Amino acid sequence: MKITDVKPFPVWVGQRNQLLVKVETDAGISGWGESGLSGRELAVAGAVRHYREFLIGRNPMRAGALWQEMYRSQYFEGGRVLTAAISALDIALHDIKGKALKVPVYQLLGGKHRDFIPTMATTKGPLGPDMIQQAKDLLANGWICMRLSSDQMGIGKDNLFEPRESIAATAEWFIKTRASVGRKAVLGVDYHHRLSVAEAASFLQMMPSGTLDFIEEPIRDESPEAYETLRKLTPVPFAIGEEFPSKWAFLPYVEKGLTNYARVDICNVGGFTEAMKVAGWCEAHYIDLLPHNPLGPICTAASVHLGAAVPNFSWLETWKNPWDAQDRHDDARIFPVMMKFEKAHFVVPDGPGLGVEVNEAALNEPFRPWEAPHLHRRDGSYTNW
Residue 120 CB, nearest distance to Mg ion (Å)? 11
Return the number of the residue (54 or 385) whose C-beta is nearest Mg ion.
Answer: 385
| Strands of the sheet with 3-13, listed across from one edge | 3-13, 16-25, 30-35
Return the number of the residue (190 or 330) whose C-beta is nearest Mg ion.
Answer: 190
Return the number of the residue (95 or 190) whose C-beta is nearest Mg ion.
Answer: 190
Residue 22 CB, nearest distance to Mg ion (Å)? 28
Question: What's the CA angle centered on 316, arms 314 and 319, to 5 degrees?
Answer: 145
> Residue 166: how many CA atoms within 13 Å on its side-chain side?
26
Where do runs of H (alpha helix) occur along the chain?
41-55, 63-72, 80-101, 105-108, 129-140, 163-181, 197-205, 224-231, 247-255, 266-269, 271-284, 297-309
Return the number of the residue (163 or 353) whose C-beta is nearest Mg ion.
Answer: 163
Residues 6+ apart with CB under 8 A from 364: 11
Return the number of the residue (131 or 354) whose C-beta is nearest Mg ion.
Answer: 131
Give the CB-nearest residue to Mg ion.
Answer: 190
The Cα-based distances of 79 to 16, 76, 86, 212, 285 in angstroms read 23, 8, 11, 32, 25
Residue 147 CB, nearest distance to Mg ion (Å)? 8
Residue 263 CB, nearest distance to Mg ion (Å)? 7
Residue 244 CB, nearest distance to Mg ion (Å)? 12
Return the number of the residue (18 or 122) whose C-beta is nearest Mg ion.
Answer: 122
Return the number of the residue (36 or 353) whose C-beta is nearest Mg ion.
Answer: 36
Strands 16-25, 30-35: parallel, antiparallel or unpaired by DSSP? antiparallel
Residue 188 CB, nearest distance to Mg ion (Å)? 10
Return the number of the residue (24 or 243) whose C-beta is nearest Mg ion.
Answer: 243
Residue 31 CB, nearest distance to Mg ion (Å)? 27
Binding site for Mg ion (CB under 5 A): 190
The Cα-based distances of 82 to 10, 16, 37, 90, 176 in angstroms read 16, 21, 10, 12, 44
Return the number of the residue (24 or 190) whose C-beta is nearest Mg ion.
Answer: 190
Q: How many residues does the chain have?
A: 385
User: Using CA atoms, how far apart are residues 6 and 338, in angstroms rounded to an integer?
Assistant: 22
Return the number of the residue (190 or 221) whose C-beta is nearest Mg ion.
Answer: 190
Closest CA to 187 of 154, 144, 156, 222: 144
Residue 135 CB, nearest distance to Mg ion (Å)? 18
Residues 6+ apart with CB under 8 A from 230: 197, 200, 201, 218, 219, 238
User: Using CA atoms, how far apart are residues 245 and 37, in angstroms rounded to an integer?
Assistant: 10
Residue 192 CB, nearest distance to Mg ion (Å)? 6
The identity of residue 70, as a single letter, is M
* CB-count burial class (<10 Å; 0-12, 13-18, 19+) for 337: middle
Q: 248-253: which pairs have CB atoms within 8 A and are 24 or more residues apart?
A: 248/78, 250/278, 250/281, 250/282, 252/224, 253/221, 253/224, 253/227
Residue 217 CB, nearest distance to Mg ion (Å)? 5
Neighbour tally for 325: CB within 10 Å: 5
